[in-house]
Structure 1
Amino acid sequence: MKAKSWFNLHSWAGLFVGVLLFVICFSGTLATLSHEIEYLSDKKFRAISNSGETNYIAIEHTLNKTYPSAQILYIHRHKQDYLATEVALKYHDEFLFVYLDGATGTWLGEGKWARVSRFLRNWHMNLSLGWIGKLIVTSLSLLLLVLFISSFYVYRQWWLGFFKKPSQLLKTKRSSWADWHKLLGLWSLWFIAVMSITGTWYLIEHGLQTARIDHYVAEPSALRNLRKVPVQESSAPLHVATLTHKALQAFSSLDIRYIRYGKKANQAVEVRGYNNDILLRLRANRVYLHPTTGVVLGIQKGENLPIIARIKDTADPLHFGNFAGIGTKLIWTIFGLAMSFISATGMYMSWLRVKRKVTLTKWLGVAGGAATVLVVASVIVTSVSFSVRTVPDLLFAPALARPK
């Protein structure tokens, strides 16, 4: 292809759904620091102690004292210890978040399902439009890949531009915007490549899930056998402290960060954590426990994952940069903002080139207009739906009770 053809392809890819691409880049950037935004907005999201040890006995004591008759859906302590531990409760048949200090069990506050992190997650992940929204968002990774590849042909001798001083930005001077577009684009190449690759994986994963093709580790046979056992109404579920003790006996190096109860007595309790693995999300390491006896039904270790499962559990840490604390989160945020700027300036430069010849509507075209409408609709739908969270009618978790 000739240089002009590459330029046309690059311009088309950036403008085809440019508004939507910008929104996905920007919302993803905000989502990377969504919990930190909450941390700054309200002290209930801030842990008191940065200790890595989680005191589940103290957590249960606080919950028993404050929320008698409630049931625990799950407990989640973030990888970043400065964030409060979240406990999701079924309380008076409604969903409730309780925020505690993970190391001491100190009560910090409570809230509903709706919060900044949930809004940004729903908006970025699928525009709050379910299956079709997920398809649209993940398909943008292919457009991003086109932009990435074509940029090497559009910017001749690109390797010389890393330290080229850009001209002063002037609102109506297209060349000044082009200088910054190129400079930030060059320094963000590695980041754009990571987003393209992980986004393409999400698209493939979405297809595999839609086609119901198994691509993860098969669950232990003991879990399937447990579900075949008739539910014993007289059985009593074990408390969190007992379950974590049983899990550590089976998997001593597990840094437990998540415990989830099942809906029935024939569903296992799932305990997740980290195990000093590199670039693996929380779900990679698990212990499955019998809810009434604490018998270990299965253990999954991230170090033993097959290649496809490993890719699946590595995609999220790479995509959001949450694998090494606040440092990598900030790096991902900086380059996410740069990527958002690149997307916005690409559209703006195109508009400056043609604004004297065509109207804004004609410049946007059918695709640009549809993308704009979709973005507006997604904001409205997300604003309406992100606070909705029902609790299961049945939950096999011990009812909290005031300590005597």
Structure 2
Amino acid sequence: MNRATWFSVHSWLGVKLAIMLCFIVLTGTLAVISNELDWLANPAKRVTPSSVEGMNWQAVYATAQQEVPINTLRSIQAPLYPWYSAEVIYLDGDEQRHRLFFHPTTGGYLGDGRWQNWQRFFRMLHRHLMLPLTLGITVVSLFAVVMLAMLVSSLCIYKSWWTHFFRKPRWQHRKTRWVDLHRLVGVWSLWFLLIISVTGCWYLAERWGAAATSPERLTASSEKTLTQSIMPDSELLALMLAQAHEKFPALSITRVNFPQKSGDVVEIQGQADAILVRQRANFATFDPATGQPIQHQDGRDLSVHNRISEAADPLHFGQWGGMLSKVLYFVFGLFLTGLTVTGTYMYGMRVARISRHETKPRRRIWRRALAHMKALGWLSAIGVTACVGYGVFTFL
């Protein structure tokens, strides 16, 4: 295809699908910092970093048993950062999940929180638009294909695109100013667009048959665990943690999952030497009645297929470098959101035929751009309104 055809493809995708594309990118940007939004919103999630001297799993576990029945506990999550509290998930009498927060060193109870928090809200909006999982993930992931097409088309439109990294925008005229800014931000965002579009395409492939098969998980075998769900006492949990360190020295423990039914094990998860994997890729499991080791997995031993699957989330949401990479993803997520807006505005300037001397033309520019979206624009606007409205209703 020639340059004009690529430009037509880029413009058609960028304008016709602008509303939904902007919404998906914006919710993904906010999902990157959703845990931080929860930290700001809930004082129980906050601790003074100078008061923290490591994670005392036994103390948190013991205090949690004073707040709720032990058999309702489901997991303990270590703090993400030194200024975060430890988090415990438990089930109430209606089998609904809730959160409790504790000081990670002393185990002191700090408060509670809803299961449906900011992290859940933006994750569900971005991941599947509050739709049924398969339908929602498919729709969102198809927009990753759209973004990949826009990436390819932009490289074909702008010949010698690498020369634009440090080209100063021309401010003399409205149209050249927006074109140059769009091009400058777009060039600097290429790496980010490539990562999120490729990982988004992977989510689509996973949903439709390319998901990796998880390694077999062994169950507990002691007589007591075969007939009922057993919760370990604090001393037995301490023994399991010590054995996990002994058998898997590289494991930095971040989560403990407790049994939910007969035959279930205590699973201790974390990060180790494998790069770009979720915490579930490294684990050690134990019999909850006896504390005997059952199984352990090093993320480095996973198949290539599994490693690709495990790398998708850290790459897509910027979790690979801690707070620094998340801030980087948030900034470039805002850049990408801005590109969807400026691209639509530039298209509006082109079709509205604004003269150089016309004053206050923005309203007519946006009106013409929105008019060119036609049915897809209305469908996107209705879809965004519906999923946000349903999300707010569900989380209130």
TM-score normalised by length of structure 2: 0.87
Q: Note the C-alpha offset of 1:182.
A: 0.4
The counterpart of 2:277, out of the listed 274, 280, 287, is 280
Q: Note the C-alpha offset of 1:369.
A: 1.6
Question: Residue in 1 aligned with 2:57?
Answer: 56
Change in Cα spacing, 1:230 to 1:86, as seen in structure 2 (3 Å) is closer
Per-residue displacement from partner, 1:83-131 (whole Å, max 9, x unpaired)? 2221011244443211122233222221111211111111011111122
CA contact (8 A) 2:71 2:231 kept: no
Could you say what secondary structure the match of 1:324 adopts? helix
Per-residue displacement from partner, 1:326-345 (whole Å, max 9, x unpaired)? 11111111111111111111
Task: Output the amino acid matched with 1:232.
Answer: T
- The share of aligned pairs that are identical, in percent, is 30
Give the Cα separation in 2 of the matches to 1:298 and 1:379.
43
Any stretches of 5+ residues in structure 2 without a counterpart?
354-363
The counterpart of 1:364, out of the listed 348, 351, 373, is 373
The counterpart of 1:289, out of the listed 282, 286, 291, is 286
Task: Output the amino acid matched with 2:160.
Answer: Q
Give the Cα separation in 2 of the matches to 1:310 and 1:79.
23
Any stretches of 5+ residues in structure 1 without a counterpart?
388-404
Question: Residue in 1 aligned with 2:28?
Answer: 28
Task: Output the amino acid matched with 1:113.
Answer: W
Q: Note the C-alpha offset of 1:316.
A: 0.9
Q: Note the C-alpha offset of 1:236.
A: 4.1
Give the Cα separation in 2 of the matches to 1:28 and 1:48.
29
Segment of structure 1 superposing worse, 239-248 or 147-156: 239-248
Per-residue displacement from partner, 1:304-325 (whole Å, max 9, x unpaired)? 1110100111111111111222
Q: Note the C-alpha offset of 1:179.
A: 1.3
Give the Cα separation in 1 of the matches to 2:249 and 2:4.
60
Segment of structure 1 superposing worse, 78-87 or 371-380: 78-87
2:245 paired with 1:248: yes
- Structure 1 segments, 4+ long, off by >6 Å, are 227-230
Question: Residue in 1 aligned with 2:324?
Answer: 327
The counterpart of 1:237, out of the listed 231, 239, 247, is 231
Give the Cα separation in 2 of the matches to 1:52 and 1:344.
46
Question: Residue in 2 aligned with 1:390?
Answer: none
Give the Cα separation in 1 of the matches to 2:225 and 2:188.
59
Question: Residue in 2 aligned with 1:116?
Answer: 118
Question: Residue in 2 aligned with 1:391?
Answer: none
Could you say what secondary structure the match of 2:290 adopts? coil
Larger helix share, 1 or 2: 2
Give the Cα separation in 2 of the matches to 1:242 and 1:371.
54
Change in Cα spacing, 1:23 to 1:200, as seen in structure 2 (3 Å) is same
CA contact (8 A) 1:231 1:264 kept: no
Task: Output the amino acid matched with 1:112.
Answer: R
2:374 paired with 1:374: no
Per-residue displacement from partner, 1:161-188 (whole Å, max 9, x unpaired)? 1111113498xx3332211110000011
Change in Cα spacing, 1:196 to 1:245, as seen in structure 2 (3 Å) is same
**Higher RCO, Cα 8 Å, sep 6+:** 1
Change in Cα spacing, 1:186 to 1:266, as seen in structure 2 (3 Å) is same
Could you say what secondary structure the match of 2:47 adopts? coil
Could you say what secondary structure the match of 1:323 adopts? helix
Could you say what secondary structure the match of 2:111 adopts? strand
